[in-house]
Each structure stands twice: as structure tokens, then as C-alpha cells.
Amino acid sequence: MAQLNYDVLKKSGYTGFIQEKGVERVMQFGEGNFLRAFVDYFIDIANEKAGYNGKVVLVQPIGQGLTDLINQQQGLYTLYLRGSQNGQKVDDKRVISSVSRCINPHRDWDQVLEFAKSDDLDIIVSNTTEAGIVHEDESRFDQQPPISFPAKLTRVLYERFTAGKPGIVMLSCELIDNNGKELLKCVNQYIDDWKLSDDFRRWVNEENIFCSTLVDRIVPGRIRDAEEVKRLEAENGYEDPLTDVGEVFGVWVIEGPEGLEDRLPFKKAGVNVMVVPDVTPYKKRKVRILNGAHTGFVLGAYLAGYDIVRDCMHDDTILTYMNKMLYDEVIPTLPLDKEDCKQFAAAVQDRFNNPFVNHELMSISLNST
């Protein structure tokens, strides 16, 4: 069976939205499952719903990765969003066409620097894991590429600055507090280390927008059941080793200045992306409602004979206890609109009831007690 690319997709009879040509507007450090099921999905929707006409250039952060495979498939991959929504089982398939290519900077660093100078580049996204936003003394300006991600970004920004190009919007998705602020701090450290100019420092800090963001979507990633893989290949008419799976729920909260929402393509597309002055209350909402609900019922539910979160959502006693805790004790403490919090809590119940995820109570208890 043929491997997915544009010609193979056309022959397969796929009738969903596809955008083969577009303008490369986004540089993305990270080519893994999460960003492809989250950011690149949102951009794909923006292309369809808002006419964004944007393509994402992926940059592989470490030596080993998916660059060759992504380029073989011309950036295409199949995404399944699975879960429960409004009490109904959902299993949606979409072929994502927002990615144009992937660059391995350890092999083609010059291509990264060349794209850095593009007039069309407006957004840089990153997810280099919790250990990615670090300052490493061994990173040098003349390395191809510099070792750490913040050092690579500093070099990219310097290339853009010396070419006389405008600043970008930096959207950091790493799972650390104040990810955008911490990234900017590292960049400024490299400006010191490398003795770069004060003009460059001013440009970085005044002309670029470093956003801290909160990401929320569970992404199991590839399908591990060999029989299911065979069945889907037969249904689709192609092989796709880049197939990705995420839950239906997804929200991206971006901390940024007034006017940023109009610069980004998401509002017009109607996707669940918010630009807010402070991301902290939304992190509290997630931790207190989602993680708090888990912590609140997990041990009692286990003692009642349950092993999986989903099964607990079908026990009236546990469900009543969880909802009473959330609506009477947790939501009143949150500094956000209470109706929004209630909607988030309702979505959490759907997420816990995901028929595709067997989330073990004991795995939760290890991280919550």
C-alpha cells in the first residue's frame, strides 16, 4: 500500500479540507505528536475557516526525529480526535495539511537561518519539553546549530534582526510556569554570553512578543494496536506512519497584549484559543477542577472496586460526590467567570468518560498523594 502524500491522498477519495499550497508563516521547534495534534491542527482549521493560507515549517529540536518521514509525506498526516462530547462518543478523522516541510538543523542549519529572514514569518512556536528552556554555557553563537533551544532561537532572532525584519510572536508551549518569560530570560542570557549589541537586545525585548501559554489536550499519539492500524489503512487507502491521536477537548490560553488576538488567525477560525492578559487564573482552573477532581475521588473510587477513571463516571455516588465538590467547593474559589468554570467542569466530565482512554486510578494516585 502506498504511503501518504498529496498524490496518494487525491487517489484515495478523501473529501475533507486540504490546502496543498500556502505561505510559510510559522516556524515551529518541535515535530512530535503533541504539537501536530494541537497547534498544527488549530492552524489547519484557521486555513479552512479563516482563510489564513498559512504553512508551518517544523524544526526538529534534537538530532534524532521525524524530519525525513515528514518530508516524504510532504507534511501530511492523519489526525484522529477521539473522546466524549456532550455525552456522545466522538471519533473524528482529519488529514492535516498545514505543515509544509521539516528541517533537521543538525544537518541543514542554513535552511533555518534562511527562513528566519523571511518577510512572511510572523509566529514561532515551541515545545521542546520541560527540559528545553534552559541556559547551557556550552552553547556558542558559531555552532551549527547551537546546543540548547534558547540558543538556537537567539541565533534565529539575530539573523532576523541583522536582515532588518520585524519582530515575531513567540508562543511557548513547554509545560513550565511562565514559559514565555523564562524563554526570554534565557535569550537575554545568551545576548550577554555572546556579547551581542544593545540594539539587538532592545529589538528582542521591544519588537518581539514572548507569550507564556497554557496548553490543554491529552495526546496519546500513535495507534499501538496493529490490527487497528491495518483496519484504518484499509479504510483510508494509504499507509501513514505519522498518524496521530488526540482527545476531542483542546484549549490554548495565550498570555499577550491587547491587539494580539487580531494578529493571530484563531479568533476568526472559531477554535478554542484565547488571548488573555494573565494565564495564571486559567492554570488554576485546570489544576483545581481537572486535577482536583482526580485527586478528590481517586482513592475512594479505588476502594469501591474501580480501576479506570471512565468507569467512575457511571457510578452515581462518585459522580455526585465529584460534582458537589467541584460546583460547591472548587469553582467558587476561582477568579474567573463562574459560567465559564462550570462549562469547563462539564467538559472535564466528558474527558473523564473518554471511551478511548483507559486512565488507571492508581497511576493518578502516585502523582497526587
Question: What's the mean pLDDT in 206-224?
Answer: 96
CA 31 to chain centre: 10
What pLDDT, on the 0 to 100 scale, is given for residue 127?
A: 97
Question: What's the mean pLDDT in 247-262?
Answer: 97
With 60 as the cut, is the pLDDT of residue 369 above it?
no
Q: Phi-psi region for residue 305, left (φ > 0), alpha (ψ -120 to 50) or beta?
A: left
Q: Using a pLDDT cut of 90, give the percent of the chain over it.
A: 95
Residue 8 · residue 2 · CB < 8 Å: yes
SS3 call for 99: strand
With 90 as the cut, is the pLDDT of residue 130 above it?
no
The three cell numbers of residue 49 are 475557516
Is-same-fold flag (6-276; 281-366)?
A: no
How many beta carbons lie within 10 A of that of residue 70, not counting itself?
22
DSSP state of 368: T
With 70 as the cut, is the pLDDT of residue 107 above it?
yes
Instruction: Kindly write down the DSSP assignment for every residue of 217-286, as one continuous string.
Output: -----S---HHHHHHHHHHHTSB-TT-EEEES--EEEEE--TTHHHHSSHHHHT-SEEEES-SHHHHHHI
Q: How confident is the model at residue 247 (pLDDT cuts 50, 70, 90)?
A: very high
- Spell out the domain ranges in the chain: 6-276, 281-366
What pLDDT, on the 0 to 100 scale, is given for residue 124?
A: 99
With 90 as the cut, is the pLDDT of residue 365 above it?
no
Q: How confident is the model at residue 140 (pLDDT cuts 50, 70, 90)?
A: very high
Question: What Cα–Cα distance (Å) separates residue 71 from each residue in 22, 125, 160, 364?
Answer: 16, 19, 25, 38
Q: How confident is the model at residue 347 (pLDDT cuts 50, 70, 90)?
A: very high
Handedness of CA 265, 267, 271, 274 (dihedral sign): positive
Fold for the domain defined by 6-276: Rossmann fold (3.40.50)
What pLDDT, on the 0 to 100 scale, is given for residue 104?
A: 98
What pLDDT, on the 0 to 100 scale, is given for residue 366?
A: 81
Q: What's at 108, amino acid-wise?
A: D
Question: What's the mean pLDDT in 338-350?
Answer: 97
Helices marked H in the chain: 6-12, 33-37, 39-50, 67-72, 105-116, 149-162, 179-193, 198-207, 226-236, 260-263, 266-269, 280-285, 292-303, 309-312, 316-324, 338-352, 361-366
pTM: 0.95
Identify which of 213, 369, 328 has the alpha carbon closest to the alpha carbon of residue 278: 213
Fold for the domain defined by 281-366: N-(1-d-carboxylethyl)-l-norvaline Dehydrogenase; domain 2 (1.10.1040)
The three cell numbers of residue 205 are 525585548
Using the CB atoms, write b or e for 259-269: b if 16+ within 10 Å: eebeebbbeeb
Write out pLDDT tens, residues 5-54.
999 999 999 999 999 999 999 999 999 999 999 999 999 999 999 999 99
Q: In what order do the strands lie in the sheet with 54-59?
A: 99-103, 54-59, 23-29, 123-126, 169-172, 209-216, 251-255, 273-276
Q: How confident is the model at residue 151 (pLDDT cuts 50, 70, 90)?
A: very high
